[in-house]
Amino acid sequence: MVDMLSPISAVVKIRLRAHENVFVDHLSFLDTEDGWKIVAKVLHLEKQVQI
């Protein structure tokens, strides 16, 4: 999911699987003179499989 907050800021929500774990990341972006940059990241371990 991408939510454009303004012409220079956005929040991206990503759900991904790494091995048997499922993570949800929330990334805050700003459009700088060098291009889009991540300025904040919050992650959550949604699911962890016990082996």
Helix intervals (H) in 1-51: none
Position 49 pLDDT exceeds 90: no
Q: Distance between CA atoms of 29 and 10, rounded to whole angstroms?
A: 5
Q: pLDDT value at position 51?
A: 67
- Rounded to two decimals, what is the model's pTM? 0.79
Dump pLDDT digits (tens) for 1-42. Answer: 999 999 999 999 999 998 889 999 999 999 999 999 999 999
In terms of residue numbers, what domain contains 23?
2-47
Structure tokens at 44: 């959550």
Provide the domain count of the chain: 1
